[in-house]
Structures are given as C-alpha cells and as structure tokens.
Chains A and B, each alone.
Chain A
Amino acid sequence: SQQGEEDPQALSIQEGENATMNCSYKTSINNLQWYRQNSGRGLVHLILIRSNEREKHSGRLRVTLDTSKKSSSLLITASRAADTASYFCATGAGNQFYFGTGTSLTVIP
C-alpha cells in the first residue's frame, strides 16, 4: 500500500494547548494535503503544501514538509474544543491520491 501513516494514532490535549501530528509517506509526491473529518461527516480540506515548499501557514495551522525524510507535520496552535476531529494527510503522486491512516484528536474543554 502507498498510504501514508499518521503518528500518533490518537492524541488528547487540553484546550489552549498545541497539537502536533506527523505524517510519513512512501513515494515521491507532487504535493501533500491535510484534511479534517468530524465524526460522521465528510473530509474538509485544510491546507495543501507543494513538494518544493517547506512550510505553510493558514490561521492557527502550520504545516511543514521534509521531502528528504518523506514526512510532514501539522501543528494546531491554541487548540479549541471544536478542533476535536480526525486528521488525515493525503499525498498525490502521478495520477493517484492516497490518504493516511489518520490521527484522532480530542481537545478537552
């Protein structure tokens, strides 16, 4: 399988703390995307980082990409209870698109 893997599988933090999730993938990529999924809902696109970029910000989100290590990280700063969800990385390579296994984040009010 060419799926990526997120680490940790589950993360529980207090509101206001930062949350960091990591993604490792196996093949060369065109870009990497992060998505959020609330329970019972579809996925919501958060951020796209291209293979020639190393860092990208969007609001409270910060994404880094290290193509030499085939890894990416998603940092959510000042977390809120509403950030409770599963987070997935997705990689595009050639004409295929692969999702990772996901990190389940719980933010405790």
Chain B
Amino acid sequence: DQQVKQNSPSLSVQEGRISILNCDYTNSMFDYFLWYKKYPAEGPTFLISISSIKDKNEDGRFTVFLNKSAKHLSLHIVPSQPGDSAVYFCAARSEYGNKLVFGAGTILRVKS
C-alpha cells in the first residue's frame, strides 16, 4: 500500500507558465516532506522541503505548500523553464525518522 501517492504520471506545461505537481499521503505521522528532481541517467537531487509545522516554503521559483488536514502537498514552479523538464518525486520522512517514503514520480515536460 503506497503511503505517498503522486497520481499524475506526467504533466506538460508551456514555458513561462506555472507548473503544479501534486502529492497525497496517508500517514498523518509523517513530519517532514521533500521534493526531489531527477534527470535521466542521474540520481535524484534535493529540491525543496517543508516541515509539518509549516504550510508553505519558498525557494526562488519553487514553492511547496502543505495542507495537513487534507494530507496533501504541492510543488509550484513559476515561471516554468525548459530546464525544469525532469521527473519529480515527492517524499515523506517516516514517524520513526529512519527513512524516506517516496511517491512514484511525475514526469514534467516544459515546452518552449
């Protein structure tokens, strides 16, 4: 049973527009959430994170929103650039603090 779900396998966005990637989780004990970005033939790289005590964290063009009551988080990329085309993984830290639980990933394509 997947505890972290990314229900959109892919997303296509025009350059300059907003990209919104979504993630849902089932375990209310998760206390820390992260987004990773992955290019082909490379390992995932950390993008942005948010603690469960916050509802928003911003870093340049990237903003993560957390809605604890809905067990939902989203990543906003504004404006989207062709170089943002990659697979994005949502992850949550387990309540025991010993591992990250990843979603299946969303492929983002930014068209120029």
Do A and B truly interact? no
Residues of B within 8 A of A (CB): none
